[in-house]
A = this chain, B = another copy of it.
Amino acid sequence: MHHSQNRPAIDALQECILACEHCATACLQEEDVKMMARCIMLDRDCADICRLTMTLLARGSEHGKHLLRECMEVCEACAVECGKHHHDHCQECATACRRCVEACKSLAA
C-alpha cells in the first residue's frame, strides 16, 4: 500500500488514540475525578490530534508530516500528565503516548 512507509507511525498513533479514549472514560469513573481533570482534557486533545495525523498519513497527504510536530507536543504533554497517576489506564496511556512520540520522530526525520 501507498502508506507503507508511514505504517509504523500509523500503528503507534492508533495505539495512542485507543489508550487516550480509554483513559478519559476510565478517569471519569475514578473516585477522585477532580484530580484527573487535566488528564481527561489532554486525553481528549491528544486522541483528536493523533486521529487527524493518522488520517492524513493514511491518505498520503502532503499535510500529514506538517502535523507531526504538534502531535509530538500533545503526546508529550499527555505522557507527562498521565505519568503522574498510578492508575493502570494512566500508566498504559503514558507508555502509548511516549511510543507515539518516538514513531513520529522517526517519520519526521
Which positions in A face B, CB cutoff 8 Å? 1-3, 10, 14, 17-19, 21-22, 24-26, 28-29, 31-34, 36-37, 40-41, 44-45, 47-49, 51-52, 55-56, 58-61, 63, 66-67, 70, 73-74, 89, 92
Contact = CB atoms under 8 A, between A and B. Distances in A.
- What is the oligomeric copy number? 4
Contacts of A52: 48-49, 52
A54 B63 CA distance: 17
Closest CB pairs A-B (n = 9):
A21-B58, A21-B59, A33-B33, A28-B37, A33-B34, A52-B52, A25-B59, A18-B58, A45-B63
A44 B45 CA distance: 12
16 contacts: A1-B89, A1-B92, A18-B58, A22-B60, A24-B44, A29-B37, A31-B34, A32-B34, A33-B34, A40-B40, A45-B56, A45-B63, A49-B63, A51-B51, A52-B52, A66-B70
Given A61-B41, A63-B70, A1 B25 contact: no
